[in-house]
Amino acid sequence: MSNRPEPLVVARDLVKAHGRTPALRGAGLDLGAGEIVAVTGPSGSGKSTLLHCLAGIASPDEGSVTYAGERVDTLPERRLSELRRTEFGVVFQFGQLIPELTALDNVALPLMLAGTARGAAQERAADWLERFGAGEQRGLRPGELSGGQAQRVALARALVTGPRVVLADEPTGALDSLASEQVMAALVRTARETGAAVLVVTHDAQVAAYADREVRLQDGVTQDGVTAGLEVHA
Amino acid sequence: MQYILISMSTRHILLGLLAKGPSHGYDLKRRHDEHFPQARPLAYGQVYTTLQRLVRDGLAEVAGTDADGGPERTLYRLTEDGAREATDWAGQVTPPAPYVTNEIFAKVVVAILTDGDPASHLLAQRAAHMERMRELTTLKTAPGTELATVLAADYALNHLDADLRWMTTTQARLTTLTAVTVEADRA
Ligand SMILES: Nc1ncnc2c1ncn2[C@@H]1O[C@H](COP(=O)(O)OP(=O)(O)O)[C@@H](O)[C@H]1O
Ligand SMILES: [Mg+2]
């Protein structure tokens, strides 16, 4: 407990409503550098909203999010999109690949936007597709991919730039158990190799078991005590 | 060291091991522990009493002795009945036991009966389950892990996962029940 790394991302007392629907009602968490954290909770408990707040995609009504000491929730859009391009790798719950581009170009795009030449970008993109078991789909467009294949491509795209923080929303939601095992193993291996911090939103306990610890969300509130040291009575 | 598999039918596993050919107690113990690395190792005493019962029930018989330089050891082999019993058992569907005697279930019921705090108990139990699932996941994904260990870990993970799903549903039910009670009290 005591030797947990300095938090890289800190969220405190987040409150957020979508219109009149409360999504977060006091959620907070720490994500240390190199740490892998699973956010779990029932459907509608606010997991996606929390991830969007951490990524600076949604701004909370109350509370704060900091990344490496810098407030994310009040940052101007220019600096935010720079952060998202260089420091964060985000995997959305519902894919969001670019339909006109092949799997390979979808993964290469973030590198090209950062100035890498097309050939070199495609070469690295191919490695990442391979790592997540989607090498054979490199020439297909998102419309030709199964749900699980699209998730593998989306993960490769999120990791290709070597982000310090990976935020993944249900990255194994469309995969069967062996496929999610393969994807989670690849994600954990990547995180250990690159030192990236990873936050995985999932409702699957077997996926959450790949993380170092679990943060539980219930009705928009992160539960205390879940990660505290526990005595198990045999 | 915590073992993943705890209660197994020693009787049938010994029959299965004997199906490979005559063997003595020590060898059976060693092969059992090799085949089920995630189970509690067999005690010699248990091997010998089980063998005696198999002989008594006509499922195994003494096939002579084997000295092999050391002390003499009794060799056992399967009888025809024993071979049939092993195959029949392995082919039988296991009763899908409703684990109503499960300790977690009992504790939640007792917590409700005693006006305790089942919700926070469930939260703590979840943390303990998750901790164990993390250990099992680390074990099964370590490079070079044997297939038998991976399968045992998968088995345990899926059962712990089932417990967790039951605990989540229970928690939701308790919340709903409380809400209903509060509503009824207001009315
Ligand atoms: N764009 C939206 N408009 C209206 N309500 C929303 C929107 N997004 C989420 N919600 C609501 O906010 C709550 C939390 O949603 P979400 O964060 O998606 O939960 P989860 O990811 O845990 O399923 C839910 O009640 C959901 O219906
Ligand atoms: Mg969601």
Q: For the residues of B121-171, what is the DSSP string, one character each?
A: HHHHHHHHHHHHHHHHHHHHHSTT--HHHHHHHHHHHHHHHHHHHHHHHHH
Same domain, B107 and B83: no
pLDDT score, position B118: 83
Cβ A19 under 6 angstroms from ligand 1: yes
Decide whether any atom of ligand 1 lies within 6 Å of the A20 Cβ: no
CB contact under 8 A, A205 and B161: yes
Tokens standing for B18? 């004997």
* Residue B114 lies inside a defined structural domain of this protein: yes
Q: How confident is the model at residue B17 (pLDDT cuts 50, 70, 90)?
A: confident
Residues B178 and B109 in one domain: yes
Q: Residue B45 class from Cβ within 10 Å (0-12 exposed, 13-18 middle, 19+ buried)?
A: exposed
In the predicted model, is pLDDT for residue B12 greater than 90? no
Task: Output the tens digit of pLDDT for each of chain A's 234 residues.
Answer: 445 556 999 999 999 999 999 999 999 999 999 999 999 999 999 999 999 999 999 999 999 999 999 999 888 989 888 888 889 999 988 768 999 999 999 999 999 998 999 999 999 999 999 999 999 999 999 999 998 899 999 999 999 999 999 999 999 988 888 989 999 999 999 999 999 999 999 999 999 999 999 999 999 999 854 443 333 443
CB pair distance less than 8 Å for B158 and A206: yes
Q: pTM for the complete prediction?
A: 0.81
With residue A153 as reference, give the H or E element that holds it: helix A147-159
CB A156 within 8 A of CB A107: yes
Statement to judge: residues B123 and B62 lie in one domain: no
B155 within some domain: yes
Helix (H, G, I), strand (E, B) or coil at B82: helix
B120 and B48 in a common domain: no
Judge whether residue B133 has pLDDT over 80: yes
Flag whether B42 is in a domain. Answer: yes
Contact A209 B157 (CB under 8 A): yes
Output the domain CATH number for residue B60.
1.10.10.10
* Co-location of B56 and B119 in the same domain: no
Verify that B181 and B107 share a domain, yes or no: yes
Is residue B151 domain-shared with residue B117, that is, in the same domain? Answer: yes
Instruction: Tell me which of B57, B91, B125 is where a domain ends.
Output: B91
Eight-class DSSP state of A117: -
- Please, what's the b/e burial string for B80-97 (b: 16 or more CB within 10 A of its CB; e: otherwise)? eebbebbeeeeeeeeeee
- Do B69 and B19 belong together in one domain? yes
Which of B68, B91, B114 is the last residue in one of the domains?
A: B91
Residues of A in contact with B161 (CB under 8 A): 205-206
Q: Which atom of ligand 1 is nearest to the CA of A49?
A: 17
- pLDDT at position B5: 55
Single residue among B39, B61, B91 that ends a domain in this structure? B91
From edge to edge, which strands make up the β-sheet containing B23-24?
B23-24, B73-78, B60-66
Q: What is the mean pLDDT of residues B35-40?
A: 74
Q: Is residue B177 part of a domain?
A: yes
Q: Does B123 touch chain A (CB under 8 A)?
A: yes
Q: What is the mean pLDDT of residues B89-118?
A: 69
Q: Is residue B5 part of a domain?
A: no
Q: Do B133 and A206 touch (CB under 8 A)?
A: yes
Identify the pLDDT of residue A220: 95
Atom of ligand 1 nearest to the CA of A24: 14
What's the pLDDT at B2? Answer: 55
Same domain, B110 and B81: no
Beta bridge partners of A16: A24
pLDDT at residue B66, rounded to an integer: 79
* Interchain proximity A206–B128, CB inside 8 Å: no
Establish whether this prediction's ipTM goes over 0.95. no
Contacts of B158 in chain A (CB under 8 A): 206
Across the interface, of B123, B130, B172, the residue whose CB is closest to A208 is B130
> How many domains does the structure of chain B reveal?
2
Give the distance from residue B120's alpha carbon to the nearest chain A alpha carbon, in angstroms: 9
**Across the beta sheet with A62-67, what order do the strands follow?**
A21-32, A7-18, A62-67, A70-71
> Is residue B4 assigned to a domain?
no
Residues 6+ apart with CB under 8 A from A125: A104, A105, A107, A108, A111, A138, A156, A160
A45 Cα nearest atom in ligand 1: 22
* Domain annotation covers residue B97: no
| Chain B residues within an 8 Å CB radius of A208 | 130, 133
pLDDT of residue A199: 97
Confidence of residue B105 (pLDDT cuts 50, 70, 90): confident
Domain that holds residue B139: 103-186
Residues B16 and B85 placed together within one structural domain of the fold: yes
B60 with B114, same domain? no
Based on the fold, state whether residues B84 and B107 are members of the same structural domain. no
Instruction: Compute, in angstroms, the gap from residue A174 CA to the centroid of ligand 2.
Output: 13
Decide if B1 is inside a domain. Answer: no
Across chain A, the runs of DSSP E, i.e. the strands, are 7-18, 21-32, 36-40, 62-67, 70-71, 88-91, 165-169, 197-201, 213-218, 221-222
Least confident of A69-73, A193-197, B66-70, B150-154: B66-70
